[in-house]
Amino acid sequence: MPFFSQNPATEAFLGEFPSIGGPALQAALGLANEAQKAWREVPLPERAAALRRLGEILLAQRDPLARLISEEMGKVLREARAEIEKCAKLCEYYAAEGASLLAPEPAPITGSRAYVAYQPLGVVLGVMPWNFPFWQVLRFAVPALMAGNGAAFKQAPNVPRCALALESLALQAGLPPHLLTNLFIEDALVADAIASSQVHAVTVTGSERAGRTVAALAGAHLKKCILELGGSDPFVVLSDADLDWTVRQAVKSRFMNCGQACIAAKRFILVPEIADAFVRKFVEQVAALKTGDPFDPATSVGPLARRDLRDHLDLQVQTALSGGARALLGGHPESGPGWFYAPTVLDGITSASPVWQQELFGPIALIVRVRNEEEALAAANDTPYGLGSSVWSRDVVRAEHFATRIEAGCAYVNSLVRSDPRLPFGGIKNSGFGRELSSQGIREFTNIKTLWVRESPSA
């Protein structure tokens, strides 16, 4: 079955790309494996230079690449430009810091010399999503490549042109052919890819269902696996928060990328002292958002990436409404061509609401009213997910103490949740396990190898 590229804002057909079968998959993985064997012998400064060139090329081609993202998955153009810029910063970070992050670490062993080395595993298979079609691939691939690995990736089927562009960019940067390899394979062949002796580790960014499937397959073949899955991030507003600032950040966090981000704020947990005022300001600002053409500078929110995603989101919203939630704004698909959904604010969300344990992947904000801070903490932690979280208060010490008790992979005080190359990124509970980025991320796909050297063999 071919991969189809379709503009989600206009529904215009953009292209068709044939998928490959089992023999072609094994051949592609074999080429990736041979490329990795040579690449692992390349000195770290040369690897860094190639990644630095990749970052420079990304910046030089920022605008056409951003247009490609907007055409293929509907991201507003300025956000697509920001995605490319972030990818360039990722390349520069690992080009500058990778050698030190991978440097052998001496161990204090009396009478002998011992150290820990970080050596490449081989080819890392990435099963990737569509919502950040460049960033998600490069987030795993750049540190993996710096560490001496190869990277083969299965991109989501609705962004095939972005996948091809990534492969081309790697070649332009001087990376060896096949070291970064795009695999146009259907879901049924992922199991074959994981089972292949040419694949040595696996990472997946996607849904909880995809994560469980990939983890089971990787476990069956005793291969290292990193899971970056969904989230239902709490955005906790305490009684002394600066509401004007907090509401502006709340709108940005929820509706960026049309709400299609695992680390977007999704549950707005409000204490009584500020709840009504927050909701009033929040609804006013959400109502001012403009949905429409991603290339129009005035557009705030683009379309959902696919029709089926919009239909599923609307089913979740209607189920929530039938379960007692109230739509303060939106609550329906937009009319006309394209897969647009009206920015929506649902109030009256409680633990009895059907959406309480779900992730809503789209422009839907859930208002959760609690009686006090302890109940706010309980609500924040009452979720199967544990990716990101944020707490908002003028009292930073108080907010930081609150943040330490949230069950999540990251917690931010008075700031939006984001992934940053300098910090480890990942979740707990049903949001997955393992970390990407920073020193922890680059070492995930290495053999953390102990070397013990007795200096006097005959003594």
The number of helices, as runs of H, and strands, as runs of E, in the chain is 14, 20
Nearest-CA neighbor of 388 among 419, 354, 361, 358? 419
Strand-pair partners of 265 = 233
Per-residue burial over 42-66, b if 16 or more Cβ lie within 10 Å, else e, is: eebeebbebbbbbbebbeebbeebb
Taking each helix axis from N to C end, the angle separating 62-73 and 77-101, rounded to the nearest 10 degrees, works out to: 120
Instruction: Please identify which of the residues 91, 162, 225, 262 carries the catalytic annotation.
Output: 262
326-329, strands of its sheet edge to edge:
326-329, 344-347, 364-369, 265-270, 233-237, 390-392, 412-413
Nearest-CA neighbor of 29 among 129, 151, 134? 151
Rounded to whole angstroms, the Cα distance separating 415 from 427 reads 18
Instruction: Please identify which of the residues 71, 79, 97, 228 carries the catalytic annotation.
Output: 228
Element (H, E) at 88: helix 77-101
- The tally of CA atoms less than 13 A away on the side-chain side of residue 27 is 6
Q: Is 410 a catalytic residue?
A: no
φ, ψ at 10 (rounded to 5°):
-120, -15
Strand-pair partners of 125 = 152, 202
Separation in Å, CA 269 to CA 23, 324, 391: 51, 17, 10
Q: Is 87 a catalytic residue?
A: no
Q: What are the residue numbers of the active site? A: 228, 262
